[in-house]
A and B are shown apart, each in its own frame.
Chain A
Amino acid sequence: MQELVLNQPVSAARSELAREAQADARREFEERLAECGSLAFRVARGILRNTADAEDVAQEALLRAYKSFDRLRDHNKFRGWLVRISFRLALDRLRSTKRREQRDTLWAEPAHVPAPVTAEDVAASNQFQAHLDRALEELPEKLRLVLLLSAMDGYTIEEIASMLGVPLGTVKSRIFIARKKLAEKLRCHADTIKMR
């Protein structure tokens, strides 16, 4: 009996503290959501090249981040963490989409591709885009992520380095190598580039 009386206030206080901590974490997460939601979307968009899919992936990435937010020791690394989650999810989505497309082309009639109605340069541009997408997919993930982040507006190389927790020189060299690799793969399509 006495034990119950003694334990009750302690457990109540603990649960109160836990509730407060949870509320604080949620408030903090909501603040970060406004800041990083668009970042998650852009990363996904850079991989998937499809706005609807990118929105789905960004939403899922934020949900996952929220569920594991209390496990993140350093909350200052939230942006980099979210970027990685979004990047991984987007890659998974891309792979599954490709698999589905392959299945569909095997079992169904090939999808109807609308004939280009605009000028020749648009056709060339689409062709170049397709080559670029393929070349990007073949890039190692580390290079690909850095390249995407460097292409985003509003993020300097220093910010990317701090976001990913890697040295500035590493970011620079990754960007350089990634661009060079892309150029090597796309050089044979120089004629389409000329048309742009």
Chain B
Amino acid sequence: MPCRHYKDALIEAAASAATPQGELRAHLAECASCREAFANEQSLFASIDSSLHAAVNTEISASLLPRMRASVNGAVHLSRSWFANGLLWAGAAVVLVAWLAARGVVHRNAENQPPAFVASKSSPPASVRSPQLGVVPLAKGAVARLPHARALPNRARTAVANPSIPEVLVPRDQQVLLAQYAQQWQQHRFGTLVAGDADWTTLTPLQPSPIQINPLDVKLLKEVESK
């Protein structure tokens, strides 16, 4: 057992791996039990140090650094491929969204535009009536009375009823014709819009007047020279 008075000093000296100085050194020279205790402490700390040293300073395998490099390189390639895949998916998503948006716009135009030719509010103002032109009175009720009105699709009817669609001026005698035209447009039958209803029998045959050619007056050269 070390002397109680020097116990802490002994431990601290061993812990700091310093050589005892002054009073402690003198006491160690005199006291055998303290010398033994100090030797034990030094042995304990030496064991701790050597054990830690052995644990920490093990030989590193030669393949460790190349493996580390490879794993870092692998991470780089992986992140690049992720980036490329991400870009690819983002591009595909943008294209899809653009296509859907364009499709929606085309649909909306198809629904809104054709009925605009036949649209009007329920009663036209008296002031716009004229013998030649009139506001097309093709509101919901009017459309229903038209010969082809029953055949109009529902979305055309709703479009007609929509007050936001602008009114158009058309000749009075062409109101029904325009309604038919709108219906054809609605059904995407553009071919018939161009030539379907043309009445070729009403055309009169071409009658050109005969060509008037004056008779030629032929004179001899001798007569001209003598003159």
Nearest chain A residue, comparing its CB with the CB of B17? A179
Binds B, one of A55-63, A70-78, A97-105, A110-118: A55-63
With A59-B67, A190-B40 known to touch, is A196 a contact of B47 (CB < 8 Å)? yes
Give Cα distance in the complex from A113 to B45, angstroms: 29
Instruction: Give the total number of A-B pairs whose CB atoms are below 8 A apart.
Output: 98
Residue A129 lies at the interface, judged by CB distance under 8 Å to chain B? yes
A43 proximity list for chain B (CB < 8 A)? 56
Q: Are B61 and A55 within 8 A (Cβ)? A: yes
Q: Which of B45-94 contact A (CB under 8 A)?
A: 45, 47-49, 51-53, 55-58, 60-61, 64-65, 67-69, 71-72, 75-76
CA distance A67 to B79 in the complex (A): 10
Which listed residue (A46, A49, A55, A193) contacts B44, Cβ 8 A? A193
Interface of A is mostly: helix
- Residue B15 lies at the interface, judged by CB distance under 8 Å to chain A: yes
Contacts of B76 in A (CB 8 A): 26
Is B56 a contact partner of A176 (Cβ separation < 8 A)? no
Q: Are A187 and B44 in contact (CB under 8 A)?
A: yes
Which residues of B are at the interface with A, using a C-beta cutoff of 8 A? 11-12, 14-16, 40-41, 43-45, 47-49, 51-53, 55-58, 60-61, 64-65, 67-69, 71-72, 75-76
Interface residues on A, range: 35 or more
Expressed in whole angstroms, the Cα–Cα distance for A183 and B47 within the complex equals: 10
Kindly identify which residue among B16, B48, B64 contacts A55, using a CB–CB cutoff of 8 Å.
Answer: B64
Distance of A148 Cα from B55 Cα, bound (Å): 9
Residues of B contacting A29 in the complex (Cβ-Cβ under 8 angstroms): 72
> Are A30 and B69 in contact, with the CB atoms below 8 A?
yes
Q: Is the CB of B58 within 8 A of A62?
A: no
A66 touching B64 in the complex, CB below 8 Å, given contacts A49-B55, A128-B47, A187-B44: no
A59 touches B40 (CB 8 A): no
Say yes or no: B57 contacts A153, CB within 8 Å.
yes
A192 → B minimal CB distance (Å):
9
**Closest CB-CB distance, B81 to chain A, in whole Å?**
15
7 contacts between A and B (CB under 8 A): A30-B72, A41-B60, A46-B55, A58-B68, A183-B14, A183-B15, A194-B43
Asked if B52 contacts A62 (CB within 8 A), the reply is no
Q: Is the CB of B56 within 8 A of A46?
A: yes
A151 to B12, CA, bound (A): 19
Q: When the two chains form their complex, are residues B52 and A190 in contact, meaning their CB atoms are under 8 A apart?
A: no
Determine if A33 and B48 form an interchain contact, defined as CB atoms under 8 angstroms apart: no
